[in-house]
């Protein structure tokens, strides 16, 4: 039975590796400028993880195969080098490997979080609330009007609680249920939560950031390919969490300008 078990471990390990090798399931295509570093990091990690996984399962299977059952008259043996060699291997091989991953990974992280947005990044605000995203563009005056939480009313479609009567800046703000951005143009995303914790996850853009109620956060990114992508909420926010999503359209500059004009007319 031991030999059967050893073979089973090996077969399971190989079967598990096949979809990875064949890339059957993989992240959606990356359309961001910073995503390549993340994808490279993922690929490096996959190699290291794959080698660690397969070699350790193989070693386990091999030893189970080889050293099961009583071998009468034979003494039990000790692994050559004893524990010292294995401890050294763990520290050196694994330690170096994971530290390398960690250090190289900082670059990908830094590209998103430790670099400021450019001066002409287009500001877009996203508000997350149970259970929808709403987006706001600042309009020609380039500034967002203040949010009045006490005036937020879904019933009256005043999602941001804007007071267009008294606040000059709010008058030209454009609020939409879908997000659109121009391609190859940096976006400065301002994140605001209306109620509980949510998250802004756009796999195609390699963006993933939780909203923090009470703390407005900022992200920046640039999309490189025209297309229609999905924004999904990934932080449990209540019963409608599964359904909380929005579409992101990446458009040519011309199409984006047209779209924005159309949205402005609908306000």
Q: Where in 102-121 is the site for another protein (CB under 8 A)?
A: 102, 105-106, 108-109, 112-114
CB nearer another protein, residue 48 or residue 169: 48
Structure tokens at 8: 């089973």
x/- mask, another protein, residues 157-196, rule CB under 8 A, reads ----x--------------------------------xxx
Residue from 33, 57, 249, 267 that binds another protein (CB under 8 A)? 57
Integer Cα distance of 126 and 128 in angstroms: 7
Stretch that binds another protein, among 169-177, 181-189, 200-208, 257-265 (CB under 8 A): 200-208
Q: Which residue lies nearer to another protein by CB, 53 or 172? A: 53
Residue 256: count other Cβ atoms within 10 Å of its Cβ. 19
Handedness of CA 237, 243, 246, 247 (dihedral sign): positive
Find the binding residues for another protein in span 128-157 (CB under 8 A). 129-130, 149-150, 152-155
Residues in the interface with another protein (CB under 8 A) total 102
User: Binder to another protein among 21, 95, 157, 166 (CB under 8 A)?
Assistant: 95
Q: Is residue 68 close enough to count as binding another protein by CB under 8 A? A: yes
Per CB under 8 A, contacts with another protein among 33-52 are 37-38, 41-42, 45-46, 48-49, 52
Under DSSP, the state recorded for 224 is -
Specify the pairing of strand 132-137 against strand 227-232.
unpaired
Should residue 245 be labelled a site residue for another protein when binding is judged by CB under 8 A? yes
**Is residue 21 close enough to count as binding another protein by CB under 8 A?**
no
Q: What does the alpha-carbon distance between residue 85 and residue 246 come to, in Å, rounded to a whole number?
A: 54
Give min distance, CB of 139 to another protein, in A: 23
Which tokens belong to 209?
Answer: 């950031």
For another protein, which stretch binds (CB under 8 A), given 97-105, 116-124, 169-177, 248-256? 97-105
Q: Write out the binding residues for another protein, residues 220-239 only, by CB under 8 A.
A: 230, 232-239
- Cα–Cα distance for residue pair 175/136, rounded to 1 Å: 4
Candidates 19, 118, 142, 146; binder of another protein (CB under 8 A) is 19
Report, in Å, the least distance between residue 82 CB and another protein. 6
Query: Minimal distance in Å, beta carbon 123 to another protein?
Result: 19
Cβ-contact 108, 38 below 8 angstroms: yes
- CB < 8 Å & 24+ apart, contacts of 145-149: 145/169, 145/170, 145/171, 145/173, 146/170, 147/192, 149/194
From 151, 181, 139, select the one nearest 33 (Cα to Cα). 181
- Is 59 one of the binding residues for another protein (CB under 8 A)? yes
Of the candidate spans 2-10, 118-126, 138-146, 178-186, the one that interacts with another protein by CB under 8 A turns out to be 2-10
Report residue 103 as tokens: 């250090």
Q: The tokens of 174 are what?
A: 């454009």
Chain-centroid distance of CA 155 in Å reads 32
Q: Could you give the angle at which helices 35-66 and 96-113 cross, rounded to 10 degrees?
A: 160
């Amino acid at each position: 039975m031991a030999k059967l078990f050893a073979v089973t471990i090996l077969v399971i390990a190989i079967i598990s590796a096949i979809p990875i090798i064949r890339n059957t399931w993989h992240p959606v295509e990356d359309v961001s400028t910073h995503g390549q570093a993340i994808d490279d990091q993922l690929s490096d990690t996959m190699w290291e993880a794959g080698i660690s996984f397969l070699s350790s399962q193989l070693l386990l299977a091999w030893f189970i195969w080889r050293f099961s059952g009583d071998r009468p008259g034979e003494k039990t043996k000790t692994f050559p080098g004893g524990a010292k060699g294995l401890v050294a291997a763990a520290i050196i091989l694994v330690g170096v490997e994971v530290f390398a991953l960690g250090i190289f990974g900082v670059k990908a992280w830094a590209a998103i979080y430790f670099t400021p947005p450019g001066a002409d990044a287009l500001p877009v605000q996203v508000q997350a609330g149970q259970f929808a995203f709403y987006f706001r563009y600042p309009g020609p005056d380039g500034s967002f009007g203040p949010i009045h939480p006490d005036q937020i009313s879904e019933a009256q479609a005043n999602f941001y609680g804007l007071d267009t009567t008294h606040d000059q800046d709010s008058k030209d703000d454009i609020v939409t249920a879908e997000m659109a951005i121009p391609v190859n143009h940096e976006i400065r995303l301002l994140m605001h939560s209306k109620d509980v914790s949510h998250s802004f996850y756009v796999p195609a853009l390699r963006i993933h950031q939780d909203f923090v109620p009470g703390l407005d956060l900022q992200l920046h990114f640039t999309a490189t390919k025209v297309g229609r992508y999905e924004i999904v909420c990934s932080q449990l926010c209540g019963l409608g969490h599964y359904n909380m999503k929005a579409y992101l359209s990446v458009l040519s500059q011309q199409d984006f300008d047209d779209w924005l004009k159309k949205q402005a007319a609908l306000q």
